[in-house]
């Protein structure tokens, strides 16, 4: 089955149920939204899907991507990308270096791939720029392109617009959602903002 499928996913900490059981299917190109209070397990759910769940948490249920079980796979084998509130660009690398870092080994024309990504992000010629010289919106676009250059089969968004002002938030939301849709990959968005959920247009899970 194509897309991202969660079946009976339950997350617990110290015997207390944080989330679940959760059943959800996110089709290719669809953006599903998970909303709920702080501490409700939203980011923990994303860690479970990425394979980075802290051992202090207990998880039940299964997650599959395009019919392949994610449970038990190491993070690097899952091909699940993630964007956080902070862009997490590497400060010791140039903008181009940050993008090249994400490219799969089989990509031969790495410079061409980086240039194409920067053009897509409306930042042509920024290869040699220091990430510290970029605006918040520019950094966010570079972070998205870095995630997409890794060729993920699904992408997770952990409140990536939360630190942006209202005007920039709307523009970045449109930019991110359009690029995800163009690649026809499933996306799971965690947010507190109802506007994010409405713009995503997919199913909404309230915890």
Residue-level pLDDT at 1: 67
Q: Is residue 97 part of a domain?
A: no
pLDDT band at 167 (very low <50, low <70, confident <90, very high): confident
Reference 118, options 96, 97, 101; nearest CA is 96
- Is residue 146 within 8 A of residue 160, CB to CB? The reply is no
Question: Residues 175-204: what's their mean pLDDT?
Answer: 93
Q: Is residue 85 part of a domain?
A: no
Q: How much is the pTM?
A: 0.91
Q: Is residue 88 part of a domain?
A: no
CATH number of the domain that residue 191 is part of = 3.40.50.300
User: Which residue do the tokens 């699904």 mark?
Assistant: 154
Mean pLDDT of the chain: 93
User: Which residue do the tokens 């630190």 mark?
Assistant: 163
- The torsion angles phi and psi of 197, rounded to 5 degrees, stand at -65, -45
Q: Which domain holds residue 196?
A: 4-79+152-206
Instruction: Tell me the β-bridge partners of 58.
Output: 12
**pLDDT tens-digit map of 1-46:** 689 999 999 999 998 998 989 999 999 999 999 998 777 789 999 9
Question: Residues 119-123: what's their mean pLDDT?
Answer: 93
Cα 117 off chain centre by = 17
Q: Is residue 144 part of a domain?
A: no
Residue 163 has pLDDT above 90, yes or no: no
Which token pair is 116?
Answer: 């194409």
User: Which residue do the tokens 């950094």 mark?
Assistant: 139
Distance separating alpha carbons of residues 165 and 187, to the nearest angstrom: 23
Q: What is the DSSP string of 75-89?
A: HHHH-EEEE-SS---
Q: Is residue 10 part of a domain?
A: yes
Q: How many domains is the chain built from? A: 1
Pairing of β 4-13 and β 57-65: antiparallel
- Is residue 103 within 8 A of residue 149, CB to CB? The reply is yes
**pLDDT tens-digit map of 57-91:** 999 999 999 999 998 899 989 999 999 988 999 99
With pLDDT > 70 as the criterion, what percentage of the chain qualifies? 100
Q: Is residue 196 part of a domain?
A: yes
Q: Is residue 134 part of a domain?
A: no
Q: Is residue 9 part of a domain?
A: yes
């Amino acid at each position: 089955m194509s897309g991202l499928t969660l079946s009976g996913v339950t997350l617990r900490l110290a015997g207390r149920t944080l989330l679940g059981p959760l059943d959800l299917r996110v089709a290719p190109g669809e953006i599903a939204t998970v909303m709920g209070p702080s501490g409700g397990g939203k980011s923990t759910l994303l860690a479970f899907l990425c394979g980075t769940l802290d051992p202090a948490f207990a998880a039940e249920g299964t997650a599959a991507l395009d019919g392949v079980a994610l449970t038990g796979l190491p993070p690097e084998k899952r091909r699940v990308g993630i964007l956080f509130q902070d862009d997490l660009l590497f400060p010791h690398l140039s903008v181009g270096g940050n993008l090249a870092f994400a490219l799969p080994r089989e990509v031969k024309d790495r410079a061409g791939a980086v240039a194409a990504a920067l053009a897509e992000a409306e930042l042509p010629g920024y290869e040699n720029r220091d990430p510290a010289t970029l605006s918040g919106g520019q950094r966010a676009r570079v972070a998205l392109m870095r995630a997409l250059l890794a060729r993920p089969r699904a992408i997770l968004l952990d409140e990536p617009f939360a630190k942006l002002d209202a005007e920039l938030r709307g523009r970045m939301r449109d930019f991110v959602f359009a690029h995800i849709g163009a690649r026809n990959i499933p996306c799971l968005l965690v947010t507190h903002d109802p506007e994010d959920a409405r713009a995503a247009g997919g199913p909404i899970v309230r915890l």
